[in-house]
Amino acid sequence: MAFDLFDGGAPFDAEELANRYRHILAPEDRERLPAYAALCDALSESRAALELLGAVHERQQNPTLILAILHFLALTGHPVLGPIYKELHEGRPVVPAAFASSVVAVLETDPELVRRELWRSTQTNEPNRSATLSAVIGDVAHTLGHGQITLIDVGTSMGFNLFPDLVTVAATDRGDDAVLVTECFTPNFVRASVPLIGRRVGIDQNLLLPSNADDVAWLTACLWPEESRRLRRFTSLLEQMKNWPEPIRVAGNAVDLIDFEVTFDETPTYVINSWVLAYFSLEERTQWRDTMDYHFAEREDLVWISMEHPSINNSLRFPEAPKTAPRPGASEIVVTSSVRPSTHWGWTHPHGHWFSVDSGPKA
Ligand SMILES: C[S@@+](CC[C@H](N)C(=O)[O-])C[C@H]1O[C@@H](n2cnc3c(N)ncnc32)[C@H](O)[C@@H]1O
């Protein structure tokens, strides 16, 4: 293994860092995102880009951070990056190699621009997950007879999942950016409407605010610029949120905060998490499960809807996932309540583009 010594820094395996750039996009994404694929390849050959990646804290040493920082610089007015990323945002055809070499030239001319943003960490908030969540919440509330609920979104990021009652969801895409789209793979499943939501609470240890321009730019930067439709949907949801009730936003570790929030009122309380619990340590997951079990025993109307990769089921004391996932890489939906132990409800695409129902009354 050949180690390089970057100026003033610790030694790094440059080849290994180059490989991270080369392999960060899955083969299907390389095909779908040709400009980003060319950029990843060009970054893998740039010593400045390798050095920047080598300077990142080990837990964040992922090329997506460097890609997001470059996108962030473009979104915040960089005179060269701004216009060339705008072409991608607008879905205009670009020559991938020309795009990549222009971006790398900016990075190599002034690596400090990127270096001073290395403190950031990549973060997501996928609006389309609400399309699936609204179906699950509606179904569970219908079954349990809950007409009004308190909703607590754990790992809420910017809070996109706090409005399952207000988003518009369709089964097919008609090109309207304000409409989320999810296809139900289970014939005869009848969606029930989401009950009234009184209190909305979003908890996150790295809370992002829609009113903070830096937070909005950073969350946008963490999306792929070539996915122009996803970007437009994201922007549309941000616009819609301005007319929706402001939720309660709580900053901190959900493991420490959940006790207070689930005992706050006597309305049936629904706790949701999507793509969050995998970030908890094993100890935190055990503590989380113990806390939830304590409250299930204490009150009759607590519901927990979890949308996560099934690889963490053991640590959450969920039953083993059935082998019914319609497509590989699916997230599992598990519902636990005061009146029913953890039960597999169904499957969903990680971004909520489809779902299937295996349990539940209308399956
Ligand atoms: C991958 S994002 C998912 C965001 C959102 N749930 C969604 O579906 O788009 C994970 C979020 O969980 C938050 N998070 C991770 N561990 C946490 C913890 N222990 N307490 C609170 N928030 C946490 C992160 O800050 C991040 O915003």
Instruction: Please name each of the domains of the chain with its CATH number.
Output: 4-115 (no CATH), 129-211+222-357 (3.40.50)
Q: Which of 14, 289, 307, 30 is CA-nearest to residue 182?
A: 307
Based on the number of CB atoms within 10 Å of its own CB, is 179 exposed (0-12), middle (13-18) or buried (19 or more)?
A: middle
Give the closest residue to 4 by CA, choosing from 14, 58, 18, 43. 14
Virtual torsion, Cα 288, 294, 299, 304, nearest 10 deg: 30
Cβ atoms 321, 151 nearer than 8 A:
no
Q: What's the CA gap between 292 and 262, in Å, rounded?
A: 9
Q: What is the pLDDT of residue 13?
A: 83
pLDDT at 7: 52
State the DSSP code for 297. H
Cβ–ligand 1 distance for 124 under 6 Å, the answer yes
What local confidence, expressed as pLDDT, does residue 360 receive?
Answer: 54
pTM surpassing 0.85? yes
> Residue 125 CA: which ligand 1 atom is closest?
9
Q: How far is the CA of 7 from the centre of ligand 1 (A)?
A: 35
- Closest by Cα among 233, 240, 161, 242 to 204: 161
What separation in Å is there between the alpha carbon of 228 and the centre of ligand 1?
24
* C-beta of residue 156 within 8 angstroms of C-beta of residue 207: yes
Q: Which residue is closest in CA terms to ligand 1's atom 9?
A: 125
Q: Whose CA is nearest to atom 4 of ligand 1?
A: 125
Cα separations in angstroms, 37 against 21, 31, 44, 74: 9, 8, 11, 18
Check if the beta carbon of residue 131 is closer than 8 Å to that of residue 181. yes
* pLDDT value for 1: 42
Ligand 1 centroid from CA 328, angstroms: 23
Q: Atom 19, ligand 1: which residue's CA is nearest?
A: 253
* Both tokens assigned to 280: 């908890």
Indicate the SS3 state at residue 217: helix
- What residue's CA is closest to ligand 1, atom 10? 276
Cα-Cα-Cα-Cα dihedral sign, residues 315, 316, 319, 321: negative
Query: In a structure prediction context, what are the per-residue pLDDT tens digits for the chain, which is 363 residues long?
Result: 445 555 555 566 889 999 999 999 888 889 989 999 999 999 999 999 999 999 998 777 899 999 999 999 999 999 999 999 999 999 898 999 999 999 999 999 999 999 999 999 999 999 899 999 999 999 999 999 999 999 999 999 999 999 999 999 999 999 999 999 999 999 989 999 999 999 999 999 999 999 999 999 999 999 999 998 889 999 999 999 999 999 999 999 999 999 999 999 999 999 999 999 999 999 999 999 999 999 999 999 999 999 999 999 999 999 999 999 999 889 999 999 999 999 999 999 998 999 999 975 554
Identity of residue 349: H
Query: Ligand 1 centroid to 276 CA: how many Å?
Result: 5
pLDDT score, position 363: 41
Question: Residue 340: what are its φ and ψ, rounded to 5°?
Answer: -150, 130
Q: How far is the CA of 155 from the centre of ligand 1 (A)?
A: 3
| Beta strands at 11-12 and 4-5: parallel, antiparallel or unpaired | antiparallel
The separation between CA 261 and the C-alpha centre of its own chain, rounded to angstroms, equals 22
Task: Judge if the beta carbon of residue 205 lies within 6 A of ligand 1.
Answer: yes
Number of Cβ within a 10 Å radius of residue 128? 22
CA atoms of 194 and 270, how far apart (whole Å): 12
- Nearest-CA residue for ligand 1 atom 25 is 206
